[in-house]
Amino acid sequence: MSYIEEDEESGPPLYCERPEWADVTPIPQYEGVSSPIAPIFYTPDYKDATDYFRGIVKTGETSERVLELTEDIIRMNPAHYSAWQYRYRTLLALNAPLDAELRLMDDFAVNNLKTYQVWHHRRLLITHLTVSTPGAKPTADPLDTAQAELEFIVHVLDVDTKNYHTWSYRQWLLAHFDDSALWLGELPYVDELLQADVRNNSAWHHRYFVVFGRGSKAQATPAEEAEVLQREIRYVKGKISFAPNNISAWNYLRGILEYSKTPFSSQAVFAESYTVRRAPWDDEDVVDLDNPKPSTDADLPSVSAMDFLAEAYAREGGDSITKAVDLWKALANQHDTMRKKYWEFRIKESLETKSG
């Protein structure tokens, strides 16, 4: 049929047809003594390229054409980790411009977001580009490089705002270079993402990382720490008021309270207004900036608010446990029946603790 001929004409020639590769002995894959498990029916292109790759690795050649060959292979199979490893070795051996390699990898990353090797390769490149060796300056300015990378990741996250590898890479960059100038832009960026999608848990997680996960470098006085905590509590409560059933925000609130060892009961007043259906006179309430009320179109009661408030009561202990039990019963029987067994378990557990 005609399309097969067209295909043959339009595709690039195989390595075995190219005179400039004639000096390399292609080595076929070892086929094994018996019928293999899950053999892959390779395309002629892939089989040809990997035959030549095995030939190259055997002789240990590191040259320009190896970059072409390995690029070809990882485009066909981005999970070919030997090709990635050998490519990196060749880049270093050739003293090749690594910034050009980064630009080549930009599109590749966007098209292969879920491939481990893509991101690992980038880490190696960035580390090598910015490392200082005794008596020599790094090839690239570390701060400029990291800044450019952070901007690049913004574009990648536009494609998939919750991509795990991409977020992990962003956090690695921030921790690796650990410069205040880099950290400074993170909260506005997170805020932008949460304004677009308040349920983006990766963005909430990043916020936690930026504010609380920075480690020893972010030295602050106790007063500054307290101020940051209050700022974050205000921020997350504001987000909850517009989407009271968003568990990501509630988990963030719980997380920062746990981190700072602040009792959940400190937020009981706030949570309580989300556990009841809205009363018509609520609109006349005085605006309390510390405890924003649910927005008028909120879907209440919020299961997450009931979960939070019950936890606060349970931790208070004593007579408050009865109030926790009432909330758990309502969750089990009416508002969150999928987790009925869990809420009943919480009731049983807390009553045992109380009597014990």
> Which one of residues 14, 16, 76, 113 is an interface residue with other proteins (CB under 8 A)?
76
Site for other proteins in 263-322 (CB under 8 A): none
Contact status: 170 vs other proteins (CB under 8 A): no
Q: Which two tokens stand for residue 13?
A: 């020639």
Q: Which two tokens stand for residue 142?
A: 């570390």
DSSP state, residue 35: P
Contact status: 79 vs other proteins (CB under 8 A): yes
Stretch that binds other proteins, among 166-174, 219-227, 275-283, 287-295 (CB under 8 A): 166-174
* Dist. CA 101–CA 340, nearest whole Å: 54
Q: Which two tokens stand for residue 25?
A: 């002995």
Site for other proteins in 4-43 (CB under 8 A): 27, 29-43
Tokens 């309502």 -> residue: 330
For every residue of 177-195, DSSP letters joined together read H--HHHHTTHHHHHHHHHH
* Dist. CA 175–CA 306, nearest whole Å: 37
- For residue 186, CA distances in Å to 173, 179, 291, 292, 343 come to 12, 12, 26, 25, 37
Handedness of CA 13, 19, 24, 28 (dihedral sign): positive
Q: What's the min distance (Å) between Cβ of 284 and other proteins?
A: 34
* Dist. CA 145–CA 130, nearest whole Å: 8
Q: What's the min distance (Å) between Cβ of 304 and other proteins?
A: 9
Q: What's the min distance (Å) between Cβ of 178 and other proteins?
A: 13
Please say which residue, 37 or 286, places its beta carbon nearer to other proteins. Answer: 37
Contact status: 199 vs other proteins (CB under 8 A): yes
Residue 17 near residue 54 (C-beta atoms within 8 A):
no
Q: What's the min distance (Å) between Cβ of 75 and other proteins?
A: 11
Question: Pattern 203-232, binding to other proteins, x per CB under 8 A?
Answer: --x--xx--xx-------------------
Residues at the site binding other proteins, with contacts judged by CB under 8 A: 27, 29-43, 46, 50, 54, 57-58, 76-82, 85-86, 116, 119-120, 162, 164, 167-168, 171, 175, 199-202, 205, 208-209, 212-213, 246-248, 251-252, 254-256, 258-259, 338-342, 345
